[in-house]
Amino acid sequence: MTDRKKLLRALDGEVQKVPPIWMMRQAGRYLPEYRATRAEAGDFLSLCYNSDLAAEVTLQPIRRYGFDAAILFADILLVPQALGADLWFVAGEGPRLSTITSMDDFNKLVPADAIHDHLAPVYETVRILSRELPRETALIGFAGAPWTVATYMIAGRGTPDQGPAHSLMAENPEVFDALMERLTDATITYLSMQIDAGAETVKLFDSWAGSLKGEAFQKYALAPAKRIISELKARHPGIPIIAFPREAGDGYIGFAKKTGADCVALDNSVTPEWAAMNVQVDGCVQGNLASRHMVTGGQALIDDTRRIVDAFSAGPHIFNLGHGITPDADPANVQLMIDTVREGAYAES
């Protein structure tokens, strides 16, 4: 068991005195080496589709910090682009897409099984990483969940309340449901290909799950996750899967059992004590340090890190942030977080 990678052991349900650590957006703009590679690539999408450079930025935080896992460098909006949507990035503002608001728009998309060629560079990045990562470092693949990706495709950009997607859901459910079905199929295809290329686990990011309430959460967050996880496990027996229905609140309760996920990632809107009582009882949890600590550091970072490790110490836990690290973070604070989590290991040695 000790030869198996720490992250995979946690996903198997093993309780470890020192939990494995990785960090959402750990390859990113807070690192000077990332900024240099991004400049070499020319623009963000060119970086995503250059397999050698995408592998390089994935490896950078592993070299610097020795995280227990690397997550593939890509973007959740590569899937809509592969389906036929126009995608571009506006400096300082973020992604823009052509919109899907009618059946005519939807009918311009390609079938889910036609995305392979467009996404081939991503699969090559996974293959490079599976060769070059340290033996002890797990490789995580990922995709955006259908609801979250749909919100961008419908609005053409990120929105504060996902209002355009909620409106289409209410006013034209035929188009909305067709888009969700296409995205669910494409996500299965995409993640399956990542696993074939060497990903040892995959994570489903539903960043906007919290804006779905009641029946809508069940239908458009939980049900697609269940279908994706079920199909992936049928195709790849034994593959562990992490689900992240961000800001789900009480929706976190039972999410693992209802979807088949091996681990539920938690944002920092829930306390670790609450999550230990209500979510970790079903298996592994991941999270949930506030990202702001990577900016502010200090004793508050140490105290909250220790609190989270202590709260989850009786069950399987992967230490992570509650959301992605921000560009204004101080790399020294990342090291402080890692040292604080791992101090138990030093005490034992």
Any idea which residues carry the catalytic annotation?
Answer: 25, 29, 38, 75, 152
Please state the φ and ψ torsions of residue 14, each to the nearest 5 degrees.
Answer: -75, 135
The beta strands (E) that lie in 23-72 are given as 69-71
Nearest to 275 by CA among 252, 244, 309, 245: 252
Distance, in Å, from the CA atom of 9 to the CA atom of 4, rounded to the nearest integer, reads 6
Q: Output the six-digit token pair for 99.
A: 């919109």
For residue 319, what are the β-bridge partners?
Answer: 21
Distance, in Å, from the CA atom of 169 to the CA atom of 246, rounded to the nearest integer, reads 20
Decide: residue 302, CB within 10 A, 0-12 exposed, 13-18 middle, 19+ buried. Answer: middle
- Residue 86's CB is within 10 A of a number of other CB atoms, namely 11
Report in angstroms the alpha-carbon separations of 349 from 15, 198, 221, 332: 19, 33, 44, 24
Distance, in Å, from the CA atom of 216 to the CA atom of 214, rounded to the nearest integer, reads 5
Q: Are 114 and 182 within 8 A, CB to CB?
A: no
Distance, in Å, from the CA atom of 146 to the CA atom of 122, rounded to the nearest integer, reads 19
Alpha-carbon Rg for the chain in angstroms = 19
Nearest to 82 by CA among 97, 104, 103, 72: 97
204-241 core/surface letters (b: 16 or more CB in 10 A; e: else): bbbbbbbbbeeeebeebbbbbbbbbbebbeeebeebbb
